């Protein structure tokens, strides 16, 4: 049996998305910047995709800037806030994706003040500390992810946004793990930037978008042609953009049934692990405010821990690992370190999609039990 439980890393492409992309790859090859009919035909595909994405998240087409994925979108939000919007202070957290953390570190080297908000042991943001950090006089960008990709902890975008507005700070949220899994209504949610990556929602790799609030005017981070309303040079990844729009449409059209199915699998796996693996625990707020596609399992210390992922892989189970730093040379997971996880307990992240089944959960739990107790 082959089981794919690494959907937070990437998801399989949906058939419907592939079908939507094939005509562009095969026949509609024009350069969207060309003014002749070949170009115009392709340009219209991009603009249809842009309108579709915008309407799915209740925003305006001009607020959607297609990028090469989540990493570029995160970079753009942070770097352009500094470059164009006068930001001199970035507030973020130690458990952000490296696309945010390393960009913030780079900004710090250029003299930007970077602060880290305190987190609780589940990965939740200390809102009082955030408010304290916001009280300075500097122009501030808050960059906090909606759901953590390793442990699944969610923040309240509404609450963080309200605090940012109170102190006139910009707010960017990396929504790579939640876009397509929750409804977003940008008419009600007051944010400046959101990031999306298509390959996390059954779309193609190498494409995503940055939502940019229409009140903001940005110069490019990548210079070249005047694509993307002069905000990002480079010939567009047309089939990717078309695939992204289709993937987001599919995901959001069926969001409630996917939620119920996937949350059911996660709850079932928690129950099965608790019934079969004594001493099992969970990193993050697994039974509370948590992304329903991610379950981070904390296992009792064992000499088998070194070969855990390897053994699961040999048994056909794909998942991902990581533990907190256990020695000076071993960096471990910056997320588990950031929330103070016990470094002696191995951690495995199982992440689910609409294609997973209960039988797969049974298989994974039984194999994990076998590895641990045989």
Q: Is 104 in the site for ligand PLP (CB under 6 A)?
A: no
Residues 214-243: x where in contact with ligand PLP by CB under 6 A, - otherwise, as a string: ------------------------------
- Among 103, 115, 140, 149, the residue binding ligand PLP under the rule CB under 6 A is 149
Q: How far is the CB of 76 from ligand PLP (least distance, A)?
A: 12
CA–CA dist 174, 236 (Å, integer): 22
- Among 91, 130, 176, 308, the residue binding ligand PLP under the rule CB under 6 A is 176
- Among 99, 134, 245, 273, the residue binding ligand PLP under the rule CB under 6 A is 99
Q: How far is the CB of 48 from ligand PLP (least distance, A)?
A: 22
Strands 320-321, 347-351: pairing is antiparallel
Strands 294-298, 317-318: pairing is unpaired
Strands 281-283, 294-298: pairing is antiparallel
Q: Is 197 in the site for ligand PLP (CB under 6 A)?
A: yes
Residues 6+ apart with CB under 8 A from 134: 91, 140, 142, 163, 164, 166, 167, 169
- Among 7, 11, 14, 71, the residue binding ligand PLP under the rule CB under 6 A is 71
Which residue, 97 or 367, is less far from ligand PLP as judged by CB? 97
Q: How far is the CB of 300 from ligand PLP (least distance, A)?
A: 28
- Among 45, 97, 172, 261, the residue binding ligand PLP under the rule CB under 6 A is 97
- Among 30, 32, 69, 124, the residue binding ligand PLP under the rule CB under 6 A is 69
* Interacting span for ligand PLP (CB under 6 A) from 158-166, 173-181, 220-228, 350-358: 173-181
- Closest by Cα among 179, 180, 162, 183 to 171: 162
User: By rule CB under 6 A, what count of residues binds ligand PLP?
Assistant: 13
CA–CA dist 226, 29 (Å, integer): 19
Which residue, 101 or 371, is less far from ligand PLP as judged by CB? 101
- How many Cβ atoms are within 10 Å of 26's Cβ, its own excluded? 9
Q: Is 174 in the site for ligand PLP (CB under 6 A)?
A: yes
CA–CA dist 294, 262 (Å, integer): 9
- Closest by Cα among 97, 73, 354 to 228: 73
Which residue, 153 or 298, is less far from ligand PLP as judged by CB? 153
- Among 145, 169, 269, 347, the residue binding ligand PLP under the rule CB under 6 A is 145
Residue 114 near residue 105 (C-beta atoms within 8 A): yes
164 catalytically annotated? no
Q: Is 177 in the site for ligand PLP (CB under 6 A)?
A: yes
Q: How far is the CB of 155 from ligand PLP (least distance, A)?
A: 12
List Cα–Cα distances, 193 to 102, 173, 215, in angstroms.
18, 6, 11
Which residue, 272 or 283, is less far from ligand PLP as judged by CB? 283
Which residue, 68 or 305, is less far from ligand PLP as judged by CB? 68
Q: Is 173 in the site for ligand PLP (CB under 6 A)?
A: no
- Among 30, 32, 70, 204, the residue binding ligand PLP under the rule CB under 6 A is 70
Q: Is 208 in the site for ligand PLP (CB under 6 A)?
A: yes
Which residue, 7 or 140, is less far from ligand PLP as judged by CB? 7
Which residue, 65 or 365, is less far from ligand PLP as judged by CB? 65
Go through the chain and tell me how many residues it has: 374
Residues that bind ligand PLP (CB under 6 A): 69-71, 74, 97, 99, 145, 149, 174, 176-177, 197, 208
Which residues are identified as catalytic? 325
């Amino acid at each position: 049996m082959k089981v794919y439980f690494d959907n937070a890393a990437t998801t399989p492409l949906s058939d419907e998305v592939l079908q939507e992309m094939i005509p562009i790859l095969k026949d509609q090859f024009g350069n969207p910047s060309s003014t002749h009919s070949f170009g115009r035909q392709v340009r219209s595909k991009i603009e249809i995709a842009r309108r579709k994405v915008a309407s799915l998240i209740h925003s305006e087409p001009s607020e959607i800037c297609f990028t090469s994925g989540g990493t570029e979108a995160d970079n753009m939000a942070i770097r352009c806030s500094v470059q164009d919007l006068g930001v001199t202070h970035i507030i973020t957290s130690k458990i952000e994706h490296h696309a945010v953390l390393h960009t913030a570190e780079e900004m710090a080297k250029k003299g930007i003040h970077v602060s880290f908000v305190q987190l609780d042991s589940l990965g939740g943001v200390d809102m009082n500390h955030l408010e304290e950090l916001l009280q300075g006089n500097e122009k501030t960008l808050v960059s906090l992810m909606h759901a953590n990709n390793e442990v699944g902890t969610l923040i309240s975008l509404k609450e963080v946004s309200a605090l940012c507005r109170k102190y006139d700070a910009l707010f960017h949220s990396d929504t790579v793990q939640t876009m397509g899994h929750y409804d977003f209504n940008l008419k009600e949610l007051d944010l400046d930037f959101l990031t999306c990556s298509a390959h996390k929602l059954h779309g193609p790799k190498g494409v995503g978008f940055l939502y940019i609030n229409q009140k903001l005017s940005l110069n490019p981070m990548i210079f070249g042609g005047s694509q993307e309303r002069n905000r990002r040079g480079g010939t567009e990844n047309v089939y990717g953009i078309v695939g992204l729009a289709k993937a987001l449409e599919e995901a959001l059209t069926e969001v409630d049934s996917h939620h119920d199915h996937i949350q059911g699998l996660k709850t079932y796996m928690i129950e099965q692990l608790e019934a079969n693996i004594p001493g099992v625990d969970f990193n993050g707020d697994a039974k509370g405010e948590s992304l329903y596609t991610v379950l981070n399992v904390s296992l009792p210390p064992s000499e088998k821990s070194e070969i855990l992922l390897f053994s699961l892989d040999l048994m056909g189970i794909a998942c991902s690992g990581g533990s907190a730093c256990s020695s000076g040379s071993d960096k471990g997971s910056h997320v588990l370190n950031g929330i103070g996880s016990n470094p002696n307990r191995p951690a495995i992240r199982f992440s689910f999609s609409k294609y997973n089944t209960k039988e797969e959960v049974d298989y994974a739990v039984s194999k994990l039990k076998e590895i641990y107790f045989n």
